[in-house]
Structure 1
């Protein structure tokens, strides 16, 4: 029986090494391609609901982008605070700002996808760059970096949406580690030619891609997924590329409590159940290999089965995954979280397991 467990353990580790080398490694060990700056006009889309404090700070950073021709489409999604007042003031003082006012629609009440659809249709330019109301670009070259990856064939650009660092905060390290791992996955699969998701905090695509799949119509009733479900449906090997140059990052304020972050992740994970079969399958295989690795290693150690062999395999697995994720972390300016890697991975695995069982019995709350 223990021999069988050991062979299964070897198989699980082999699966993990395939992911960390052949999938994640496609991003981790790659180099950022040199791109030529483009001068194509772009529309920056920002959808906000009760984000008065954030938009007053972050819209000026969008206005300060060094880019020859762009407009900012501000979408107020029926805010109950003074978000609309702030947007109107920006529109009055800036000729390149267009305001879209969304009133509650009985059929699409509280649905961000409905609001975004109106904003996309109102945009003046064909190339669209998306970010969230609580996000800001790290540099004034963000638009230049993202738009430089558009070509005649590449009409979807997946960027990196990071979270601010909070010193001496374990939950902040956990959030940023999870964000790093997720980005390494979707960048890696995109490099292979199987893109499956992107994040609305930093995303760009040509409007024709939106209309090609009839916008969000196939998943309009699902409150979340204006970014990842759309990309899962619209992206493919020929039309999608990635942008991970350091000037292209956006940053968001992270949750500061485990409870808030747990609620946020419940929404994200529930959306993933609507991905294409292959994407659900590969994500499930990776997660099952993670938790199986831990359980089998603990069982083999508990029954004192060939400690040297089991220990050597564990050490090899951790060293290889540490190197693979470490290279990705360096690219995405998240290297500090890798000092905590084994412990952060352990906490994340069991947090995801908790989320899975919690979502089985109750539905997460979505857009505000």
Structure 2
């Protein structure tokens, strides 16, 4: 599959948007909604969205793999945000002008401190050697995920730096089913991925449980929309509402020039998550081989998956580590196995 664009910045909506003074469906404490109009965003038109590659937008938290201490490392998303005084000034300006255009930041004084290891995301503009905030008043960036940082414990659970591996969920055999595998971090270098699982964003895909939490990474752009609807407001709305393939959080279009545009169900006034998500219902096979000489069993999650290596599940939400479980697999091309 061709290499698709990485997610380093906030992705614009495929439609022009407007702000409605109604409580947000997406964010509990937000007293306004950003909704799509029926007019296509000029950015999408310029990038020829009609010829773009449509992929599923997954509901997790964004990660990045790049070098740290001379080795490929997983990095967590950390946007640098304004302090209380600057945020108040910014909101007041936005309310008065209905836009953030023309607002002046003092980057040295207006923003909260970040760890010394923090780096700005790609394409963040700079002025006088300082990164410039985006239209939302944030400076997108990354921090390396280290073993002893409790704030990123779920990120840390999906990587083993001693073996140089990460737990990745990816399509196999022309998307017939998914494979959860231990993938060398070096093969993920400069990719962005979505961390999903039990303790991420309310776990819309039903992975694991409190007793046995399950987390994994999914490379951005790897989960294609098999028969995407036309890029049209009404047809997209109907697809999300009526098509079984539309039980997804949203669509991200990867354009030929590297641009990314998206639509989220909330942009169209629709709810998320669905009770039964399309992704959570996909079949999966486990490929985490404990017999590999390079594999290090110091990670609980890696160890747990290695014990069910080769086991197949009819839905990823059914994955569990009970060795007595009989596994049923519905795909005709893959035989069922007994654990």
Q: What range is the shorter-chain TM-score in?
A: under 0.3
Greater strand percent: which structure? 2
Please give the TM-score of this superposition, normalised by the length of structure 1: 0.26
> Using CA pairs below 8 Å that are at least 6 residues apart, which structure has the higher relative contact order?
1
